[in-house]
Amino acid sequence: MPYPLNDTQRAMRQVIRDFCRNEVMPGAAERDRTGAFPAEIMRGLGELGAMGITVPDSCGGLGLDTQTQLLAIEEVARADAALASIYTAHLLALEVLVPYLNKEQKGRFIPDMASGKALGAFALTEPGSGSDIGGMDTVARRDGDAWVVSGSKTFISNAADAGTTVLFAKTDPAAGFRGISAFVLSRGTPGVSFSEPQEKLGIRSAPTHTVYFDGARVTDDRVIGELGTGGKMALSALNRARIDIAAMANGIAQRALELAVEYAAARVQFGHPIRDFQAIQLMLGQMDAELEAARLTAWWAAAEKDSGADLRRAGSIAKWVATENCGAIVDLAVQVHGGAGYMRESEIERLYRDARILRIFEGTSQIQLLGIAATLAATFDRSGEVV
């Protein structure tokens, strides 16, 4: 990496790297084939402290910085993108719970998540609303001392396996975005059911489900923050979590570059390894440059996050740069492999499928660009000079 790591960061990266080399990478292809959920591996990450890297130590986490978390995510994604998707979905739920739960709620819900005993899920997207969260149809109506939830969510990562789910529903349907509230649900809540795992192009062992709420009762002690502020919570959490998706993209891109370099050294044409040919060198050079640019951008955004800065711009830039670059890098890696990279038994074929979702979930690339453009007015003063 083109920047210094402190001793804690180096140690954490090495611990996660060794775990991934020994426990994650060997079974990744088989999990992709079968769609098997890697429950034991997730527990192993929890035992390493990886499930709560930035969670304060008062809540059972490690209390470390976001840059350390990015190192862990990148190592996991390098070994298995599907596992990284499960991991980042868990971290997304924590981006709501850590800042917005009250003290009693934090003690009740966060320690088990930080230790890996409870997996997190983030239930926001609906069949009719994605980026337009104000258009959600799921409602929570007051009934005595509880809220009764009706509706459905879709494409929800970790849904059926989560011990703790952050749910967004309208408590004031007439208020649109300002009528959204957030709740925390535990596994086994009556009135909650799930579809079968949805069939996907990639990240196949990271199951997503449609979640159905049929009169599920949620008591007041599970309301997160103030009623009507759930929309703001969701957008704030997504701004912060987009940096994690950047790290996931960088991990996939790192593996693609490694595979391309190895193949270019081993594949011989016209009596020479193909790495000797300028056409291959140009592709490898582009891959390396795009990966390091994406890493630096993610590292900058992580520092912005830990400084308390507004992340609408930095989070979107980090995600857009890393995910777009990852798509280009993986595509070039397939090109370096030629026909071999198109075959199902090739690892690069799996990376090609896994990488495609990154430009869609947690805000499409186009949504990121719109968000970046919306912040430009705050970046320049009236004279046109950079503020």
Residue 173 forms part of a structural domain: yes
Phi-psi domain of 365 (left: phi exceeds 0; alpha: psi -120 through 50; beta: other): alpha
Distance CA(350)–CA(341), nearest Å, equals 9
CB 80 within 8 A of CB 124: no
Q: CA 265: distance to chain centroid?
A: 33
Q: State the pairing for strand pair 120-123/164-170.
A: parallel
CB 180 within 8 A of CB 173: no
My answer on whether 109 and 127 are in the same domain is no
- Given 211, 226, 241, the domain boundary residue is 226
My answer on whether 217 and 260 are in the same domain is no
CB 59 within 8 A of CB 110: yes
pLDDT of residue 3: 73
Question: In the chain, what percentage of residues exceed pLDDT 90?
Answer: 94
pLDDT of residue 387: 52
Residue 386 forms part of a structural domain: no
My answer on whether 262 and 372 are in the same domain is yes
Choice among 126, 304, 324, 362 that is catalytic: 362
Residue 363, token pair as written in the block: 């805000």
How far CA 110 is from CA of 103, 230, 271, 333, 362, in Å, comes to 10, 19, 59, 40, 22
Q: Report how far apart the first and last C-alpha atoms of the chain are (Å, whole number).
A: 30
For 284, the domain range is 232-379
My answer on whether 239 and 375 are in the same domain is yes
153: β partners: 211
My answer on whether 222 and 236 are in the same domain is no
pLDDT of residue 131: 86
| Catalytic site includes residue 385 | no
Distance CA(66)–CA(50), nearest Å, equals 12
186: β partners: 164
What secondary structure does DSSP assign to 168-224, as a single string? EEESSGGGGGGGEEEEEEETT-TTEEEPPPPP-SS-TTS-EEEEEEEEEEEEGGGEE
- Residue 41 CB contacts under 8 Å (≥ 6 apart), including other chains: 23, 24, 83
How far CA 13 is from CA of 18, 68, 101, 225, in Å, comes to 9, 8, 30, 34
Mean pLDDT value across residues 124-141: 93
pLDDT of residue 381: 55
For 162-194, write each residue's pLDDT tens digit. Answer: 999 999 999 999 999 999 999 999 999 999 999
Residue 360 forms part of a structural domain: yes
Q: CA 65: distance to chain centroid?
A: 17
My answer on whether 236 and 375 are in the same domain is yes
pLDDT of residue 380: 65
My answer on whether 238 and 371 are in the same domain is yes
pLDDT of residue 2: 55
Distance CA(53)–CA(280), nearest Å, equals 39
For 353, counting Cβ atoms within 10 Å of its Cβ (0-12 exposed, 13-18 middle, 19+ buried), the class is middle
- Given 205, 226, 247, the domain boundary residue is 226
- Given 119, 144, 163, the domain boundary residue is 119
For 329-387, write each residue's pLDDT tens digit. Answer: 999 999 999 999 999 999 999 999 999 999 999 999 999 999 999 988 766 655 556 55
My answer on whether 217 and 255 are in the same domain is no
My answer on whether 245 and 375 are in the same domain is yes
Confidence label for 143 from pLDDT (cuts 50, 70 and 90): very high
My answer on whether 198 and 106 are in the same domain is no
Phi-psi domain of 384 (left: phi exceeds 0; alpha: psi -120 through 50; beta: other): left
My answer on whether 107 and 33 are in the same domain is yes
My answer on whether 306 and 237 are in the same domain is yes
CATH code, domain with 20: 1.10.540.10
For 212-263, write each residue's pLDDT tens digit. Answer: 999 999 999 999 999 999 999 999 999 999 999 999 999 999 999 999 999 9
Residue 222, token pair as written in the block: 């599970």
Distance CA(266)–CA(255), nearest Å, equals 17
Residue 305 forms part of a structural domain: yes
Domain count, the chain: 3
Q: State the pairing for strand pair 146-157/164-170.
A: unpaired
Distance CA(52)–CA(63), nearest Å, equals 8
Distance CA(291)–CA(284), nearest Å, equals 11
For 26-76, write each residue's pLDDT tens digit. Answer: 999 999 999 999 999 999 999 999 999 999 999 999 999 999 999 999 999
pLDDT of residue 177: 96
